[in-house]
């Protein structure tokens, strides 16, 4: 069966399963719609949480980022997984014990203020809508490549699929759909990784293959990759960091506390029956997430070596009789001059996968020296030896542009794996994007229907009316998300990092202070969230060239790019969180004290049931 037919079959079957589950588990009450009835098993919830969390950014982009950044990509592994440890230990059990439907509802009750609740809704909407742009873009990219449609058409199809199972199923339908999506996406991620690791290292476990020698040689995969990338003018794969040390630290912290503050992730812990189940489901989520996250470094490294092998014959990765990429041990051991003119690929002889990805615009070639070959190297390097070799070989600059987002999706094609594996990856990429989009849309709709309409505009609304409002809000959110995916704003390139920065600088501090401090007041919490949001958005927008007053050099006002202790916009959520904490405590000092019944409620949320029973205290 040809690749296109196989892709239609597997993707179509996965969509049929999602919609069928949504019909079976459709929401019949507001409790079903918001928290799946509150009766989800911890293992089921852990799997659904993993799917909810592992978005297009995790499935499609993370390995590509690691492939490009090398060691510096560790910030994503440490930050995103570390965030779940924070969530499991510091937030999930306490929020579940509080027993509400949404994050803004907890903030509104804890800070005894409708204003604080409304501010939380604003922060939630900004973070969620920003995050969802990346998911819709991922849907468009995947559909465009594998289903032979345009990116815009792919987004329309994705909107229709999400509408079919999210609007009618609510959290109940989304939960069980996400279980199916997790199974699809983890198989789609692991199966190609097993094949590729076996081909390159002889070890089918990619986690072990990453540290193994290349098949038939005494050269380790990472040592070979280091040698290849440095000879081509790139930074050493295993040591190059993501900016300064302080930036890497702040970037990791921002991703950690941003993860712990994402509303669509937090709400999953409201769906389990007991507080103990919230901790348990967080643990299970970490297990399910670890399957992908421990594989991603190997996928990134092997994809980069495969890519160099495709474009540069001196690397020693060649195709065997079956078309699969394998290691040529003699070439690896010989380590010939990578800048020999014949070491680059003749463009007309490029493999089929390159031709297919060129149609998407995510892979481009420009023949700068007119020799009909693909020169792939870092022409911006300051290494004089590399530049001298390139000039001697007659090269006029790097000629191949590869978007990091294609690494995971193209990797099975580069490795010439069977068509069913390539089709499975397409289904996995769509499952990852759609599962997170559904969770974000539910967080948006519940904030509008439960926190704004019921909480502020019409408190006496009936349950039936609230359920209808939730579904209408969900439908509206889908159209907004689709529009932003079709017409992404100017800062779309950093939308995922911006979403984490917003959650880190607004929601996470408010939750932490709400649980662990009895002195933070309503005015302090509201002022802290607004201050964190404002400083983070300003720093990011200034770097993205978005100016609110024409002619004003906002970047100049902060002293130039990355001028604040070399911190990049993606890492600035940590600074925003510090500002939030500082402003909240300062304003609280100048405000009326927290009411006694609120302080008692904070104690009750933190104190385990039955504490003191043995001593009578």
Out of 408, 440, 475, a domain closes at 408
Residue 251 lies in a domain: yes
Contact 235, 382 (CB under 8 A): no
- Closest alpha carbon to 202 in 420, 211, 189: 211
Residue 179 lies in a domain: yes
What Rg do the C-alpha atoms of the chain give, in angstroms? 25
Identify the top-confidence range among 375-389, 454-468, 563-577: 375-389
Phi, then psi, of 345 in degrees rounded to 5: -80, 135
Assess whether 328 and 295 both reside in one domain. Answer: no
Assess whether 55 and 131 both reside in one domain. Answer: yes
- Closest alpha carbon to 568 in 498, 471, 521: 498
Please determine, for residue 210, whether its predicted confidence score (pLDDT) is greater than 90.
yes
Please determine, for residue 577, whether its predicted confidence score (pLDDT) is greater than 90.
yes
Assess whether 152 and 240 both reside in one domain. Answer: yes
Please determine, for residue 541, whether its predicted confidence score (pLDDT) is greater than 80.
no
Please determine, for residue 362, whether its predicted confidence score (pLDDT) is greater than 90.
no
Round to whole Å and give the CA distance between 521 and 421: 55
Assess whether 285 and 393 both reside in one domain. Answer: no
Assess whether 250 and 154 both reside in one domain. Answer: yes
Assess whether 235 and 143 both reside in one domain. Answer: yes
pLDDT score of 614:
42
Phi, then psi, of 325 in degrees rounded to 5: -75, 125
Round to whole Å and give the CA distance between 104 and 121: 6
Residue 347 lies in a domain: yes
Please determine, for residue 491, whether its predicted confidence score (pLDDT) is greater than 50.
no
Round to whole Å and give the CA distance between 505 and 574: 7
Assess whether 347 and 453 both reside in one domain. Answer: no
Instruction: Give the chain's domain count.
Output: 2
pTM: 0.83
Assess whether 524 and 591 both reside in one domain. Answer: yes
Residue 550's CATH number: 1.20.1730.10
Please determine, for residue 560, whether its predicted confidence score (pLDDT) is greater than 60.
no
Please determine, for residue 608, whether its predicted confidence score (pLDDT) is greater than 70.
no
Residue 318 lies in a domain: yes
Quick one: pLDDT band at residue 177, thresholds 50, 70, 90?
confident
Contact 150, 139 (CB under 8 A): no
Only one residue has tokens 């901790």, namely 279
Angle of helix 419-446 relative to helix 114-146, nearest 10 degrees, comes to: 160
Residue 612 lies in a domain: no
Round to whole Å and give the CA distance between 584 and 210: 46
Least confident range of 233-237, 305-309, 486-490: 486-490
- Closest alpha carbon to 315 in 254, 231, 238, 389: 231
pLDDT score of 527:
96
Quick one: pLDDT band at residue 611, thresholds 50, 70, 90?
very low
More confident residue, 424 or 439: 424
pLDDT score of 554:
53
Contact 485, 495 (CB under 8 A): no
Q: Is the dihedral of CA 170, 176, 177, 179 positive or negative?
A: positive
Residue 613 lies in a domain: no
SS3 of 63-105: the string is HHHHHHHHHHHHHHHHHHHHHHHHHHHHHHHHHHHHCCCCHHH
| pLDDT above 70: percentage of residues in the chain | 89
Residue 192 lies in a domain: yes
Round to whole Å and give the CA distance between 21 and 23: 5
Kindly report the number of other CB atoms within 10 A of residue 85's CB atom. Answer: 15
- Structural domain containing residue 393: 307-408
Which token pair is 530?
């607004």
Please determine, for residue 257, whether its predicted confidence score (pLDDT) is greater than 90.
yes
Out of 379, 408, 437, a domain closes at 408
pLDDT score of 496:
67
End-to-end distance of the chain based on CA atoms, in angstroms? 72
> 369 to each of 308, 391, 400, how far by Cα in Å?
20, 11, 13
**Residue 35 class from Cβ within 10 Å (0-12 exposed, 13-18 middle, 19+ buried)?**
buried
Assess whether 348 and 450 both reside in one domain. Answer: no
pLDDT score of 30:
75
Assess whether 375 and 247 both reside in one domain. Answer: no
Assess whether 79 and 15 both reside in one domain. Answer: yes
Assess whether 296 and 313 both reside in one domain. Answer: no
SS3 171: helix
Please determine, for residue 466, whether its predicted confidence score (pLDDT) is greater than 80.
yes
Out of 408, 441, 457, a domain closes at 408
Residue 614 lies in a domain: no
Q: What is the dihedral of CA 117, 120, 125, 130, to 10 degrees?
A: 180
Contact 461, 149 (CB under 8 A): no
């Amino acid at each position: 069966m040809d690749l296109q037919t196989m892709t239609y079959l597997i993707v179509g079957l996965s969509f049929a399963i999602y919609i069928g589950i949504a019909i079976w588990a459709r929401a019949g009450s507001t409790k079903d719609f918001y928290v799946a009835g509150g009766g989800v098993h911890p293992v089921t919830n852990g799997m659904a949480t993993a799917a909810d969390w592992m978005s297009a950014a995790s499935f499609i982009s993370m390995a590509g980022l690691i492939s490009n950044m090398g060691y510096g990509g560790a910030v994503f592994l440490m930050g995103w997984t570390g965030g779940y440890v924070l969530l499991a230990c510091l937030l999930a059990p306490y929020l579940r014990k509080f027993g509400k439907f949404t994050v803004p509802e907890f903030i509104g009750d804890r800070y005894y203020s409708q204003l604080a609740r409304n501010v939380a809704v604003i922060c939630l909407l900004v973070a969620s809508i920003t995050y969802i742009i990346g998911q819709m873009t991922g849907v468009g990219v995947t559909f465009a490549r594998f289903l032979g449609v345009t990116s815009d058409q792919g987004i329309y199809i994705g909107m229709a699929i999400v509408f079919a199972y999210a609007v009618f199923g609510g959290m109940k339908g989304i939960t069980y759909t996400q279980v199916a999506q997790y199974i699809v996406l983890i198989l789609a991620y692991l199966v190609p990784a097993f094949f590729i690791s076996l081909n390159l290292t002889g070890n089918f476990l990619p986690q072990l293959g990453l540290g193994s020698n290349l098949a038939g040689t005494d050269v380790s995969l990472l040592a070979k990759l280091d040698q290849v990338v440095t000879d081509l003018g790139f930074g050493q794969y295993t040591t190059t960091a993501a900016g300064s040390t302080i930036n890497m630290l702040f970037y990791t912290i921002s991703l950690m506390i941003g993860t712990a503050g994402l509303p669509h992730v937090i709400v999953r812990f409201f769906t389990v029956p007991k507080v103990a189940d919230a901790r348990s489901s967080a643990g299970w989520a970490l297990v399910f997430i670890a399957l992908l996250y421990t594989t991603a470094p190997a996928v990134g490294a092997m994809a980069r070596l495969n890519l160099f092998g495709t474009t540069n014959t001196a690397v020693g990765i060649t195709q065997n009789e079956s078309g699969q990429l394998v290691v040529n041990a003699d070439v690896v051991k010989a380590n010939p001059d990578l800048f020999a003119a014949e070491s680059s690929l003749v463009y007309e002889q490029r493999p089929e996968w390159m031709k297919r990805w060129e149609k998407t615009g995510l892979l481009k070639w420009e023949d700068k020296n007119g020799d009909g070959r693909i020169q792939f190297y870092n022409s911006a390097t300051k290494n004089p030896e590399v530049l001298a070799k390139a000039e001697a070989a007659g090269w006029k600059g790097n000629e191949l542009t590869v978007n990091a987002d294609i690494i995971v999706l193209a990797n099975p094609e580069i490795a010439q794996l069977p068509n069913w594996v390539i089709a499975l990856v397409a289904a996995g990429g769509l499952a990852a994007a759609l599962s997170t989009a559904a969770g974000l849309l539910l967080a948006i709709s519940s904030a509008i229907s439960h926190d704004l309409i019921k909480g502020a505009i019409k408190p006496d609304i009936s349950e039936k009316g609230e359920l209808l409002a939730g579904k209408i809000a969900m439908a509206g959110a889908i159209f907004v998300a689709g529009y932003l995916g079709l017409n992404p704003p100017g800062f779309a390139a950093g939308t995922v990092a911006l979403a984490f920065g917003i959650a880190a600088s607004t929601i996470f501090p408010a939750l932490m202070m709400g649980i662990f401090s009895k002195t933070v007041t309503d005015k302090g919490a509201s002022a802290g969230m607004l201050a964190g949001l404002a400083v983070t958005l300003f720093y990011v927008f200034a770097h993205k060239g978005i100016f609110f007053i024409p002619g004003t050099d906002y970047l100049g006002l902060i002293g130039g790019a990355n001028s604040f202790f070399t911190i990049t916009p993606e890492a600035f959520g940590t600074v925003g969180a510090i500002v939030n904490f500082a402003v909240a405590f300062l304003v609280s000092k100048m405000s009326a004290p927290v009411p006694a019944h609120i302080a008692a409620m904070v104690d009750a949320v933190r104190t385990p049931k039955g504490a003191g029973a043995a001593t009578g205290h």
